[in-house]
Amino acid sequence: MLQDNQYLKQEYQISQIEHRYGQNIHILSDPYLFTTLAKLGRPDCKQPLINSLLNTLYRELVKVVVNQEFPLVEATVETRMKAQHPQGAFKAKVIDPDTKVTCVSLARAGTVPSQICFDAFNYFLNPDGVRQDHISINRKTDSKEQVIGTQLGGLKIGGDVQDRIVIVPDPMGATGSTIHSAIEIYQKLGKPKKFIAIHLVITPEYLKLLRQTDPSVIVYALRLDRGLSAPEILTTVPGTHWDQEKGLNPKQYIVPGAGGLGEVINNSYV
């Protein structure tokens, strides 16, 4: 069997922007995905292109998260040439196929992204250890349309999360209330290896709530939007003046944002 050390010394580093939000926050620097996301948020982008772009974005995000966060094991890999040459096999570090993962489908904006992630994990992990749960949840607002929490509609949870990696693919991290509510549900079901939230767009307000309530959650996002901040704040490294950064309008939608993705994904504008 071939023993070539190059296969055992693979290292991966993500490309991300500089910020001051803490080590668990990863805001990617990826021109290809950034451009794809920009197209998703355009007013003329509609179905079926919406789901096609979501597929591209979340499959690439899965790759980044897996490379950065999932455990590796040393394995013997045989190729088709093994039948002709004993050197047709080698030792390498690969993603541990027995890693257990739970994808959390948050209705309604998170339904399609969760299915994309679930399908992707099933290809390279042992499918017996990959699960998708479903939570019907939406923001609760007051008479002024301010978010005051979340409203839980129902749960379909397939078991505990002990020693699992819990993946929450929610496109828009606006206020943080939805992610916080989901984490509260799973904290009663065991101790996972990691909570990982995968977003397309996040706000400083979202990150602030998460730091206060769930600081151990690992966040991956393609874009940070703080478009309602003062001009002088927009020239600074994100997080430098965190208390003065603003990405939510009075109705607590993200600016510049991408519009209500829950609505456009489902063609249901309620």
CATH code for the domain in which residue 172 is found: 3.40.50.2020
pLDDT tens for 64-80 read 999 999 999 999 999 99
In a domain, 59, yes or no: yes
Q: What is the CA radius of gyration of the chain?
A: 20
In a domain, 3, yes or no: no
pLDDT at 20: 98
User: Contact at 8 Å (CB) between 202 and 173?
Assistant: yes
Please identify which residue in the block is written with the tokens 């949870």: 157
| Residue 140, Cβ density class (10 Å: 0-12 exposed, 13-18 middle, ≥19 buried) | middle
pLDDT at 140: 60
Closest CA to 263 of 109, 56, 52: 109
In a domain, 168, yes or no: yes
Q: How many domains does the chain have?
A: 1
Share of the chain above pLDDT 70, in %: 93
Please identify which residue in the block is written with the tokens 């995968």: 198
Share of the chain above pLDDT 90, in %: 79
- The two three-digit tokens of residue 125, written as one number: 């992990």
DSSP-assigned letter for residue 228: T
In a domain, 8, yes or no: no
pLDDT at 15: 96
* pLDDT band of 3, cuts 50, 70, 90: confident
Q: How many other β-carbons are positioned within 10 Å of the β-carbon of residue 229? A: 19
DSSP string, 75-134: EEEE-GGGGT-TTSEEEEEEE-TT--EEEEEEETTTHHHHHHHHHHHHHHS-GGGEEEEE
Please identify which residue in the block is written with the tokens 């995000």: 61
What is the residue range of 132's domain? 13-266
In a domain, 70, yes or no: yes
pLDDT at 8: 84
pLDDT at 155: 87
Q: At what angle do helices 49-69 and 111-124 cross, to 10 degrees?
A: 50
Bridge-based pairing of strands 194-202 and 101-107 is unpaired
In a domain, 2, yes or no: no
User: Contact at 8 Å (CB) between 261 and 109?
Assistant: yes
Plot region of 22 (φ>0 → left; ψ -120 to 50 → alpha; else → beta): left
In a domain, 4, yes or no: no
pTM: predicted TM-score of the whole model, two decimal places: 0.93
Cα separation, 21 vs 174, whole angstroms: 16
